[in-house]
């Protein structure tokens, strides 16, 4: 049985852990708010680029631009995997890693681009997959330049290095307590057809083709930016939930330990009384 003093130190340490998890929860909650508002601010930009691309595609459905062209034989694949830079966010990274392993089982030769330190550390040690590039520590200071850099790298893979497809794997932000794993092709660009009837009578300068090319590149840029924002919001959401339950568990643990402590204390007192009583009895 644990001594009274042991239990007491244990209670103190659980209490300070609880304080830390509680503080982390608050921090995650405020970061989540920021991340959510950034998603909202980025939306008009992404929507407009998307709309322009859909219009162009509709008008020019036979475009042979390589960005839009699906290849028949897919041999050379690359996948971009978004994880977080920091841990303590529940199953956020684990879910991605599990999905990635399934993917690797199907595509053993796929090359990997890691965004986020957690994924990079794991895949480097535990898989034989070829990691061709990694972006670490970018979620601390999110800005559009980073997403541009990643987008340019991926475009280069696709257009110059002859990769047949580039896919992305990330956590989509559903709500503060829910994340969805998404895996989808990024390149070539697949444009969904909108049913909406709109006048497509635009004059394009210098030409449809040049605009498609530039717009396609911009679209990739915007997609990467959006995914980064989603992933970081999802990360904060996951961390908030994880820290919330950690705080709750700590509170439960403290309750249990306090109960044990009181029991032990009482047992000691009872024992002492019995000793004194029996001592007094012996003197009679």
Selected from 45, 77, 182, 251, the binder of other proteins by CB under 8 A is: 45
Segment contacting other proteins (CB under 8 A): 22-30, 98-106, 217-225, 235-243?
217-225
Q: Is 5 exposed, middle or buried (0-12, 13-18, 19+ CB in 10 A)?
A: exposed
Structure-block tokens of residue 113: 């681009």
Q: Which is nearer to other proteins, 94 or 202 (CB)?
A: 202
Q: How far is CA 278 from CA 51, 99, 187, 282, in A?
A: 91, 68, 86, 6
Residues 153-192 that bind other proteins (CB under 8 A): none
Query: Is 251 among the residues that bind other proteins (CB under 8 A)?
Result: no
Nearest to 77 by CA among 100, 49, 48, 43: 100
Query: Is 44 among the residues that bind other proteins (CB under 8 A)?
Result: yes
Segment contacting other proteins (CB under 8 A): 155-163, 218-226, 242-250, 253-261?
218-226
Say how many C-beta atoms besides its own lie within 10 A of residue 214's C-beta.
Answer: 10
Using an 8 Å Cβ cutoff, are 261 and 7 in contact?
yes
**Binding-residue total with other proteins (CB under 8 A):** 24
Q: Which is nearer to other proteins, 215 or 242 (CB)?
A: 215
Listed as own residue / partner, the contacts of 180-183 with beta carbons closer than 8 Å and 24 or more positions apart are 181/95, 181/96, 181/99, 183/99, 183/103
Reply yes or no on whether 89 is catalytic: yes
Q: What is the CA radius of gyration of the chain?
A: 28
Cis before 237 (ω within 30):
no
Selected from 8, 15, 38, 99, the binder of other proteins by CB under 8 A is: 38
* Residue 159 beta carbon to other proteins: minimum distance, rounded to whole angstroms: 15
* Residue 52 beta carbon to other proteins: minimum distance, rounded to whole angstroms: 6
* Residue 227 beta carbon to other proteins: minimum distance, rounded to whole angstroms: 13
* DSSP designation for 186: E
**Candidate list 24, 35, 89, 166, residue with the active-site label:** 89
Residues 88-147 that bind other proteins (CB under 8 A): 144
Contact residues for other proteins (CB under 8 A)? 38, 41-42, 44-45, 48-49, 52, 144, 148, 199, 201-206, 210-211, 214-215, 218, 222, 225
């Amino acid at each position: 049985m644990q001594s009274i003093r042991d239990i007491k130190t244990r209670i103190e340490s659980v209490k300070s852990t609880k304080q830390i998890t509680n503080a982390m929860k608050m921090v995650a909650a405020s970061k989540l708010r920021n991340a959510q508002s950034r998603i909202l601010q980025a939306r008009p930009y992404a929507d407009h680029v998307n709309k322009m691309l859909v219009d162009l595609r509709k008008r020019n459905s036979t475009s042979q631009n390589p960005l839009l062209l699906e290849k028949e034989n897919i041999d050379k694949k690359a996948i971009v995997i978004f994880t977080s830079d920091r841990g303590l966010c529940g199953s956020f990274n684990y879910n991605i890693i599990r999905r990635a392993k399934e993917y690797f089982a199907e595509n053993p030769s796929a090359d990997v681009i890691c965004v986020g330190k957690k994924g990079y550390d794991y895949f480097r040690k535990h898989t034989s997959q070829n990691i061709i590039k990694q972006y670490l520590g970018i979620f601390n200071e999110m800005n559009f330049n980073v997403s541009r850099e990643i987008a340019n790298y991926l475009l280069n893979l696709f257009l110059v290095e002859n990769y047949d497809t580039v896919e992305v794997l990330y956590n989509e932000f559903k709500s503060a307590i829910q994340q969805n794993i998404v895996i989808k092709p990024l390149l070539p660009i697949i444009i969904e057809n909108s049913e909406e009837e709109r006048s497509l009578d635009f004059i394009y300068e210098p030409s449809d083709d040049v605009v498609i090319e530039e717009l396609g590149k911009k679209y990739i840029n915007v997609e990467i930016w959006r995914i980064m924002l989603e992933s970081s919001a999802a990360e904060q959401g996951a961390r908030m939930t994880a820290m919330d339950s950690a705080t709750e568990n700590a509170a439960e643990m403290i309750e249990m330990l306090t109960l044990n402590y009181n029991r032990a204390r009482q047992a000691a007192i009872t024992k002492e009384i019995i000793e004194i009583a029996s001592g007094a009895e012996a003197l009679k």
